[in-house]
Structure 1
């Protein structure tokens, strides 16, 4: 029980530190966010006066006239109430609404692609590592070569061959624009059709890393005493593979999978940009381009919570999968 209490305490402190940094970083950057937005407004022919400045200050969820500690307290209260401010880029939409409309797209695309690449890569890695030196082992460098190719290059290659040349898939968008978004088979089928090419890009780019990591851990695990003992007892190869070798070899991959799954919320900025996909990654790029500090803070907060939450779940599961972890703690 003490193991789980310590883990929960650690992540509570980490969450508080992340919230504090999320509050401080925009205020420590050179220049004032309000001044930057006012300058942009003035360049576009807008009128800038004291009332305009006050409106922009309140829009960003702060008040320069208050002490920093008071602003920090207001920020924490507003955050826990779900008030993340108003997006300048998508004005007058609140930041929480912008994130809520984009998050399902990213979770469906990046989340499913990440899970698929993990399952396929780990399964192939366990099989290849079980019999090292075979012809299958010689194919591993090819998958790692694909992992070294930048996302945007791989995405552009797939778009050229599968979308532009063969016309099998659309090259841009998240669904057919003539359809009304909703939970119906026609729209869901369109979303799957449009999301296949971006998902394929992520799976191909991520597969090699999982495969190589699992393969190397399997080769190392096969020389352990408990595996040799299981073989001496005459246990079947399938039981040794599942219950002894793969179960222990997969532990480092699970830790890496937690981090990857947490970053699903951030989306793949490059992939979403190449395919004009309506996910969190495109919203983050728009926020940075337009100096939308409220939206940036909201997105960074969601990314942080997702990463911490995913790691917390895996840490708790780690104690169940490997009892030695609890004993060492």
Structure 2
């Protein structure tokens, strides 16, 4: 009897999830209505009484990160950025500094770049549709290869280049992968940290879906870097990921939330493609910690690094570390 009840509950739950998915896609058909509802919710007394951010706040925070990733991958894969039609919204719309197509020598890396670029653009469009009129505009983004740019600052912080030197993520397959490595692990931890804050189960399911895709992307980048590092040890690619990981950890607080590709001391004979805790669970970052990394600053600030003027929306400040 108990087993029959469990099966019944399972089917009821599955039916409910399907209903929620159908409702969600109906909502997407009326983008403006969804956005207006999210905006009204954010302004209502009920939302103001909440101690945390609204769902609209969280989705807009994610949208800022998706703009950054999508622009980097789109330039690297196709030589141009996203169309302006999907960059407008609330807040100050900013331009993209830098970005160019990579002349890939490895066909597989080129294919990965095109696939990830298309996925990231889809994330931008999905979140914008879900938010409707409440969607934030793309803020100013720096993905340049200049010595004073964000990529060079990140590489310098990791000790990969010296003072005054530049890091060009578009110069080679390997540099592209290291540039991607800077973003992908951060995206995974950011979505995991934000997901529990969502009150709507429908939005939570959507965020979980994007998190899964970001994890796939991170695994592609990490696996490819690891394979190339093993094949050509002199390139020091594995060591470079460790250095980038340490730099990220120096920005987001005292807790070790990051791992490069070097095998862990607890399992020195294994690769370290998936960066997990002792329970085999991915790490989480708060919005503030995520902004520490993309702003390239361990202090509480409202802009810098890859977002020179900060992100758009209500979640803007990095954490004080």
TM-score, shorter chain, exceeding 0.5: no
Of Structure 1 and Structure 2, which has the larger fraction of its residues in helix? 1
Between Structure 1 and Structure 2, whose CA radius of gyration is higher? Answer: 1
* TM-score scaled by length of structure 1: 0.29
Q: TM-score, normalised by structure 2?
A: 0.29
